[in-house]
Amino acid sequence: MLRVRTHTPRIDDLRWAKPAHQARSQRTLELLLDAAEAEIREKGYADASVAEIARRAGCSVGTVYRRFRDKTALLHALDERWGAAFRATMEDAVAPERWQGAPILEVLTGYIAFTLNEGHERAALQRAAITMASRDASFAERQMKLASELHAGLRALLTARIDEIGHADPPLAIEFALEQLRAMLMLRLATLPLEATLFGNSDEQFIDQALTSIAAYLKLEPLSA
């Protein structure tokens, strides 16, 4: 009689990590992901070595390959863990309830603060992820999906406040304003601390001018007219 297996090879192929059958191996898997994150944060994807990741996790190279098919699978698993964490924070950040009664400028201030926070904390990781995206299409796809989910959430928040917008074509203006903000945020995060003078040294001045600019473009009008 056939034994029913929890993980068939066909299904295993769809997971980055090989199945873990003992509590100990699950623990090792998480130690490895933590170690890989630290290693990549310091050296970037290209210079992260499996041996060093194993050393940081306190296990051997052989163990890494017991948990992951190859180095790429480990990187994918790590990237997905980041994605899940980011998605959770993001969904909370753009929840309509959170912004009940807030005008557009307040929503956008929140968006900017959220992004600068995430970015300052994860600058090295993000740079690494972008590098990986340029080499492997599935990294790029995962990142694009996250970006467009965030985008969709923001679009919904702004569309619900469409009567604040004086621009002749509000839907177009919303799209472009969001892209414009994204561009400014990416440049600011990418170049810090390298070119901290660009956009001014302080986040306050940056936020102030960015909002001024977006308000002028959207032709925002106070609700209580």
State the residue for tokens 């299904």: 11
Q: From the centroid of its chain, how far is CA 214?
A: 23
Q: What backbone phi and psi angles, to 5 degrees, belong to 143?
A: -65, -40
Query: Shortest Cβ distance from residue 198 to its own copies (Å)?
Result: 6
CA–CA gap between residue 85 and residue 153 (Å, rounded): 17
CA–CA gap between residue 37 and residue 52 (Å, rounded): 12
Question: For the window 159-178, what string marks contact with its own copies as x by the rule CB under 8 A?
Answer: -------------x---xx-
Counting residues that bind DNA (by CB under 7 A) gives 25
Residue 168 interacting with DNA (CB under 7 A) = no
Q: What does 144 interact with, of its own copies, DNA, none (CB < 5 to 8 A by kind)?
A: its own copies
Q: Tell which one of 15, 63, 99, 146 touches DNA (CB under 7 A).
A: 63
Q: What does 152 interact with, of DNA, its own copies, none (CB < 5 to 8 A by kind)?
A: none
Residue 1 interacting with its own copies (CB under 8 A) = no
Q: Tell which one of 22, 100, 134, 197 touches DNA (CB under 7 A).
A: 22
Q: Which of 124, 130, 115, 125 is nearest to 182 (CA)?
A: 115
Residue 51 interacting with DNA (CB under 7 A) = yes
Q: Which of 80, 61, 67 is nearest to 24 (CA)?
A: 67
Residue 8 interacting with DNA (CB under 7 A) = no
